[in-house]
Amino acid sequence: MSSLSFAASMSDKPFGSDKDVKYSQMLWMQLEKAKLNKIPATLYLGGPPHGPVREVLESTIDGKRVIIKRNYGGKDITIEKVEQNRAKYLKAVTVMIKKDGYDPKNNDWFWVKYKADGTLHQSPKKDALAGKVGGCIGCHNSASGNDLVFAHNKMANADITLVKEMEMMKDKKMMKKMK
């Protein structure tokens, strides 16, 4: 398994630098390798900016905490429609991963917004949404728990599906569902 080491960008850009993009591409490969971008989780209703239906997974990659949010949208979308065809309605995969020393001011989270195919969404100014993304940080600063994670508020959020790497590999039923 390749290491996800990353040096903080010396660029003036808070997000979308070449290093941010390169790291996000490496992260996507790790998500695919661990099948973390494919494992079904509990679907729940949400709102902007993540879409009307979403699911959240939490795990680790190379010992780093990672939270994956799959965001679904489309005309007259419902949880039932997404359950029947997740690929059809998947609009974005947003990920936050802990990076020791990356951004101490914001709990060392690296933020990224992928399209369903793993390419990066872009800001209106055409910067890749990877790195210290202001919209992500601004919103998540309102999360309780002082860690920028919304999972603490069970009234507003569905349960996060926790995935442990070894359990995931042992669970043959889940592996069959992913095929």
The DSSP line for 70-133 is EEE--TT--HHHHHH-HHHHEEEEEEEEE-TTT-GGGTTEEEEEE-TTSPBPB-TTS-BSEES-
**Torsion-angle region of 137 (φ positive above 0: left; ψ -120 to 50: alpha; else: beta):** alpha
**Torsion-angle region of 160 (φ positive above 0: left; ψ -120 to 50: alpha; else: beta):** beta
Euclidean distance between CA atoms 99 and 64, whole angstroms: 7
HSE (side-chain half, CA atoms, 13 Å) at 46:
20
| pLDDT tens readout for residues 91-140 | 999 999 999 999 999 999 999 999 999 999 999 999 999 999 998 988 88
Amino acid identity of residue 37, one-letter, is N
Euclidean distance between CA atoms 94 and 121, whole angstroms: 10
Angle, vertex CA 178, rays to CA 173 and CA 179, nearest 5: 100
H helices present in 123-163, as ranges = 134-140
| pLDDT tens readout for residues 49-64 | 888 999 999 888 989 9
75 by Cβ neighbours in 10 Å (0-12 / 13-18 / 19+) ranks as exposed
Q: C-alpha 74: how far from its chain's center? A: 20
What is the per-residue pLDDT for 148? 84
What is the per-residue pLDDT for 8? 43
Q: Which residue in 79, 173, 13, 19 sits closest to 5, CA to CA?
A: 19
With bands split at pLDDT 50, 70 and 90, how would you rate the model's confidence at 39? confident
Q: Which domains occur in the chain, in start order?
A: 18-173 (3.50.70)
Token pair in block for residue 134: 């202001």
Q: To the nearest whole number, what is the mean pLDDT of the chain? A: 81
Q: Is the pLDDT of residue 158 over 60?
A: no
| pLDDT tens readout for residues 122-132 | 999 999 999 99
pTM comes to 0.78
Q: What is the CA radius of gyration of the chain?
A: 16
